Amino acid sequence: MVLFEKHGMEGEEFFHFFPLKNYSFPLHFHRAYEMIYVNDGQLYVSIDQKEYLLKENDLVFIFINQMHEFKTIDYSNITIILFSPELIGDFFMNLKGLIPNDSALHLERAIDFSKLNSIYSQKSFLYAVCADLINQKSFTLVKQSPQTKVLYKMLLYVEESYSTDCTLKDIAKHLQYDYPYLSKLFAQQMNMTFTDYLNHYRISQACYLLKNSQQAIGEVAIKCGYNNLRTFHRNFKEITRRAPREYRAMD
């Protein structure tokens, strides 16, 4: 299961990478650093409302707690790399409170992920990318408005509760904010309603399970917060333009 927001909360060094094909994921954030590398195809990525169009051998470096999303354009074969700040401690400490003004890099040669099989090769790879980022880009101080902090709390609630009954009224009660205020804030910040976001989040998780597990479609629907299979099928097709069975069969 892709639990993006929980990455970086383990309290220890970690390095994970996994390939994804024709995948999209709505706005989210996490304490871990993340790199998105395009093996083939094209990918739209938004980081703190700045947009990037990535092509083969392009990579974006997403810093801690940066709000980001990505969407496949026609076709994409990508690799997600998630790693703890502690793994590149010098970089993390020296750039604490800063973010790059431009997060995209073009690599001269393809990444050979088969060689990233030890802590030494992983750190060597990461620090090489860090060096490229520092040499090629400028940095600015992180600015986070009170509204953004509230939005972060809302998105974190979705991540923790999307598999159960998750409503904006529940979030308003949990955060002790007025429902109308949160509804308006969410729509302004996300350019979509809370219900639309929740459905996109759930379907994104369902896509991952369909491709990376043998669970029955009905079981996937339930794990992603849909007790009504008909609603799951309808939302899945509206968002992916394919039926769940068809999506699972795709290469």
Separation in Å, CA 144 to CA 35, 47, 186, 250: 22, 14, 16, 40
CATH 1.10.10.60 maps onto the chain at 146-249
Give the pLDDT mean for 101-106. Answer: 97
In the predicted structure, residue 83 carries a pLDDT above the cut 60:
yes
Contacts of residue 181, Cβ cutoff 8 Å, sequence gap at least 6: none
What does the pLDDT look like over 168-215, one tens digit per residue?
999 999 999 999 999 999 999 888 999 999 999 999 999 989 988 999
Reported confidence tier of residue 85, pLDDT bands at 50, 70, 90: very high
Reported confidence tier of residue 4, pLDDT bands at 50, 70, 90: very low
Give the pLDDT mean for 124-136. Answer: 97
Looking at domain 4-141, its CATH class is mainly beta
pLDDT at 15: 94
CATH 2.60.120.280 maps onto the chain at 4-141
Q: What is the DSSP string of 138-178?
A: -EEE----HHHHHHHHHHHHHHHHTTS---HHHHHHHHT--
- Percent with pLDDT over 70 in the chain: 95
Q: Which residues pair with 99 in a beta bridge?
A: 140
- What the block records as the tokens of 143 is 């600015």
Give the pLDDT mean for 218-237. Answer: 96
Reported confidence tier of residue 103, pLDDT bands at 50, 70, 90: very high
Fold of 146-249: Arc Repressor Mutant, subunit A (1.10.10)
